[in-house]
Amino acid sequence: MEAHGPAPTRRTLLRSGAGLGAAALGLAATTATAHAGDRRPRRAAAYPPTHWIPASTSNYRVSSRPTAYPIEVVVIHVTQETFQDAVKIFQDPARQVSTHYMVASADGYIGQFVREKDVAWHAGNKDYNNRSIGIEHEGWVDDPAWFTDEMYASSAALTAAVCDRFAIPKDRDHIIAHSEVPGSDHTDPGPLWDWDRYMELVNQG
């Protein structure tokens, strides 16, 4: 896996990304919205701090979502790689693969590789790629030690913010495993991913 240019270490990214949040990427929470039957305004979940680590432009398609395609699904992945090795893959123009976000195991650090308006190539299904946000998680499907409290909390906060931004229902019909994408031959995030815990965290916002 030859990198497309030098890949920074996670420590370097954390240092350079200190203080950078989603607002710097134009991903601040949307304004408060009122729900039918509830006069109290509810603020959309805020995006957790995120650092921009661009994927190779050969590994995704520029678009104008949600104008070009509605964003209706969040797809949950596990990398089967370390964070640093996955960065190299997303920045290698020969790999033809990318994701919108990736969450680190140890501390829940989030890298963003593709803008939400653009189509990342993560699902292995063109229709689902067009209509989804892909979130990768550092680790291996057969080793739950990678699925830390920090990872679950950070990822759930991100998914909640994405769902609020695009009015995606926070349920298992719309927050799905990579293995649940039609035609997928992948198994991630696998049977050791705690869906009950994750969805509870997502719905807590």
Q: Mean pLDDT for each consecutive 10-residue tract of the chain (205 residues)? A: 34 35 33 33 81 98 98 98 98 98 98 98 97 98 98 98 98 98 95 98 91
pLDDT of residue 39: 38
- DSSP 8-state code for residue 145: G
pLDDT of residue 43: 67
Q: Quote the pTM value.
A: 0.80
pLDDT of residue 42: 52
37 dihedral zone (left: phi>0; alpha: psi -120 to 50; beta): left
pLDDT of residue 34: 29
Measured between its terminal Cα atoms, the distance across the chain in Å is 37
| Tokens 């926070």 found at | 170
pLDDT of residue 31: 28
pLDDT of residue 45: 87
For 113, other C-beta atoms within 10 Å of its C-beta total: 25
pLDDT of residue 130: 98
pLDDT of residue 26: 35
Tokens representing 50 are: 């995120």
pLDDT of residue 193: 98
